Structure 1
């Protein structure tokens, strides 16, 4: 009797799986009629999110962010540069977003992911235009400044890539420490390692490591607009079958930083945008708490 029930349950699961593969949109729409997602989430709820600072010991600042299964590793390396004559007291930030083959089983080695340059540009535009970082904070001495290279690696891609990438970047900058630097005999500014700290020939320009001051932080929420439904924090499967994506970026004061809508039908009403902004406000509150906890945990350690 038990064997029959087991066989029936297995057969039913196979039928559901086959229907999902053959008619994915209809499968999802059946759930939407009940105001629920295929992963049992309410339409406006984001996936579980976690954040860990200091994930890369060799970096000056780093963070590992997970939104559902989407996983991003951000690492910042500081070097010394000569600023431009137009901005002698400002540093520079270069942002690179990488999607190595490990992020998905369907990507072959040597084949660049199409999403990588898109996400990279979005990140650069958002971070550099949001006012989150005062580039003068990266100034070391007059005419010498820090060159920050932020690398973000997508370790697992399951939707909402920009949201997870931005979260990891913000967290990495929150963790970043400007290293001790010194002037060598040639007058050049050099980064002082921990091993060299006690035996400097020249006096250090800055006596100790310092945290990078952030004037504000920005977070984002990507939503899918499908018929009369708004789905927050979509999975890769949802993104692949529902074409209208919208990403709202707000700062910690809930001011609009940027708005992205890459393709899809033109929106006829502003109510959908307003609803997405409202969902983003809620998400910013959640992410701010997660970031604060990660910072607190790091300080305790």
Structure 2
């Protein structure tokens, strides 16, 4: 009897799996009617999220962020540069988002993923427009030296809501960032001060005596939602993103300000109330993420 039961269960499971692959939208609509998703989440709940700081020891700031299976590794490297004539008292930030083939079956070797370019621009626009970082804090000597912060984010697993996870990893990396000590070399140039590498110390005294942390302003957080008819699915998986009619990403900051509302193509929103509901879900998600970041820093202090 046990074998028959097992066989029956297996047969039923195979039928469900086949139905899911052949008629994915109908499969999801059956769940939506019950206000639940195939992974057991309520429609408005995001996946479990974790943040680990200092994931890359050779970087000046780094973090590993996971939202469900979606995984992002962010690393910041600081270099001294000559500021532009237009902004002599400001540093710069350069952001690149990478999607290597290991992150998803749809990313092919030798071909840059289309999503990588889109997410890179979104990240740059969001971080620079949010006011999280005061570029004047990156200045060293007016018109002569300033910091260039190179932020690279690597997608290790792409299972939906890529921008949300990438932004979270970027915020965590900048929160973890320690600006290096700088000194004047024998040629009179300001350079990063290192005691390791070639085994030599710079003869001139360091300009700043210790590493410095940035003073972050309003911190941006985002939530991507998949919309189908009157339903809103917060933090969609890649499968949900491929099935649902519309995707929207809401970005808010820690001052409760709406930074941006991003909708890449798709049909017009049928219900204006959907926008209000997405903002409300983002506001709730922002509080969750603030708590997660606080816990990550508390864990570092204990260590």
Q: For residue 230 of structure 1, what is the aligned residue in structure 2?
A: 232
Q: For residue 147 of structure 1, what is the aligned residue in structure 2?
A: 148
- Backbone CA RMSD of aligned residues: 1.3
String of CA shifts for 1:226-265, please: whole Å, max 9, x gaps. Answer: 0010110000000001130010000012111111000111
**What is the rounded CA distance, in whole Å, between the counterparts of 1:160 and 1:31 in structure 2?**
20
1:1-301 correspondence runs (5 A): 1-142=1-142, 143-195=144-196, 199-301=201-303
Give the length in aligned residue pairs. 301
TM-score by length of structure 2 reads 0.97
TM-superposed deviation, 1:132:
0.5
The change in CA–CA distance for 1:213 and 1:198 in structure 2 (over 3 A counts) is farther
Q: Is the 8 A contact 1:248 1:280 kept in 2?
A: yes
TM-superposed deviation, 1:193:
1.5
Q: Is the 8 A contact 2:167 2:221 kept in 1?
A: yes
**What is the rounded CA distance, in whole Å, between the counterparts of 1:243 and 1:164 in structure 2?**
22
TM-superposed deviation, 1:224:
1.0
Runs of 4+ aligned structure 1 residues displaced above 2 Å come to: 105-108, 194-200
Q: Which ranges of structure 1 fall in alignment gaps of 5 or more residues?
A: none
Q: Is the 8 A contact 1:75 1:151 kept in 2?
A: yes
Q: Is the 8 A contact 1:141 1:205 kept in 2?
A: no
Q: Which ranges of structure 2 fall in alignment gaps of 5 or more residues?
A: none
TM-superposed deviation, 1:77:
0.3
TM-superposed deviation, 1:130:
0.7
Q: Is the 8 A contact 1:248 1:277 kept in 2?
A: yes
Give the 3-state SS of the residue equivalent to 1:291 in structure 2: helix
Give the 3-state SS of the residue equivalent to 1:178 in structure 2: coil
TM-superposed deviation, 1:198:
9.0
**What is the rounded CA distance, in whole Å, between the counterparts of 1:214 and 1:34 in structure 2?**
42
Give the 3-state SS of the residue equivalent to 2:196 in structure 1: helix
String of CA shifts for 1:96-122, please: whole Å, max 9, x gaps. Answer: 000000101343211211100000000
